[in-house]
Amino acid sequence: MEYERTGSRQTLQLVSRYLSFLHYAQTPTGRFHNFMSYDQVWLDDMGSDDCFGRVLWACGYALQADLHPNVKKVAKQLFEAGLKWIPFTQSLRARAYMVLGCYYYLQFDPGNVEIERSMLSQADALCKEYRFHADKEWAWFEPALTYSNGMLPRALFMAYIASNNREYLDVAVESLEFLTSVCIVDDMLHPIGCNGWYIKGYERAWYDQQPVDPLGHQLSYLAAFEATKDQKYLKLAKTSFDWFFGRNSVGEALHDPVTGGCFDALTIDGPNFNQGSESTITCLLAQLNMLPYLDSI
């Protein structure tokens, strides 16, 4: 995304470096390692479902991006080597990430029947979980709100855009409206806290708030806007984006202008000052995704 914005050769070199890392991380079976020691030794036999789904999301985006064909060849190879694992990946969030990966792959190769089938099967699986768990008071895919919640409706909005399947849109809208009712309080985003989450029938946790959640909200609202053209979703996306820059329950920014990084969590006492890679990538993605819409808000 940054290379598309700037055309920077240095950024393109980083794209190549990160894809090389993913190539090194892919196992002979097509899955990916997730944990590496400082001396470059893998610490796991196989990464989590979420790890796998995020790689497909990233490689799918790289395929449809304005990148050199040689770079895309690597992303395509990584994606297709892992394709056989899609039906066996059970995590709801991994399913959402895989939908996104397939969506972007189809922007690169619109006629690919296997990729389209994979995308729709995972979108159908999300809808099935929603129909099983949702009721009038709890319009959600599982009996708890945990992390990266916004990615679930986002995946269905994107699947709707690709397929025009009305069920995907209905479930996406219903679930996102429920998530909004829980997490937007007095026009401010209060993501579900990781210190207990929000189990159905119990009190929700307010802290610690993790940066992956405001990003998930923002991306879901942007997808909702693209699917419905309802301007309210742009306002909600901006509300979610502003969480990183101090419009949150503690009133302190998570983005660090000195390093360009992002603090790892918002606690009741303020930021956790560690700046991990996930948090920093999350904040960068929030900025890059918001840029095209700022003039419309």
Question: Prior bond to 208 cis, omega within 30?
Answer: yes
Domains of the chain, by residue range, sit at: 1-101, 134-297
Range 134-297: architecture per CATH = Alpha/alpha barrel (1.50)
Q: What is the per-residue pLDDT for 91? A: 95
Distances (CA, A) of 72 to 67, 78, 93, 179: 7, 10, 25, 36
Closest CA to 84 of 162, 23, 30: 30
pLDDT per residue, tens digit, the chain (297 aa), is 999 999 999 999 999 999 999 999 999 999 999 999 999 999 999 999 999 999 999 999 999 999 999 999 999 999 999 999 999 998 999 999 999 999 999 999 999 999 999 999 999 999 999 999 999 999 999 999 999 999 999 999 999 999 999 999 999 999 999 999 999 999 999 999 999 999 999 999 999 999 999 999 999 999 999 999 999 999 999 999 999 999 999 999 999 999 999 999 999 999 999 999 999 999 999 999 999 998 888
Q: What is the per-residue pLDDT for 297? A: 81
Closest CA to 175 of 201, 204, 150: 150
> Which residues 6+ apart lie within 8 Å of 279 measured at CB?
210, 211, 212, 254, 261, 262, 263, 264, 265
Q: What is the per-residue pLDDT for 72? A: 96
d(CA 90, CA 121): 12
Q: Is the dihedral of CA 172, 175, 178, 180 positive or negative?
A: negative
d(CA 101, CA 60): 4
Q: What is the per-residue pLDDT for 144? A: 98
> Which residues 6+ apart lie within 8 Å of 244 measured at CB?
211, 214, 253, 254, 255, 262, 283, 286
Q: How far apart are the first and last CA of the chain?
A: 21
Distances (CA, A) of 42 to 37, 47, 51, 58, 130: 6, 10, 14, 21, 36
Q: DSSP secondary-structure letter at 255?
A: B
Q: What is the per-residue pLDDT for 295? A: 86
- 210 touches 145 (CB < 8 A): no
| Model pTM score | 0.95
> Which residues 6+ apart lie within 8 Å of 183 measured at CB?
149, 189, 190, 191, 192, 217
Q: What is the per-residue pLDDT for 285? A: 97
Distances (CA, A) of 85 to 30, 125, 231: 8, 15, 38
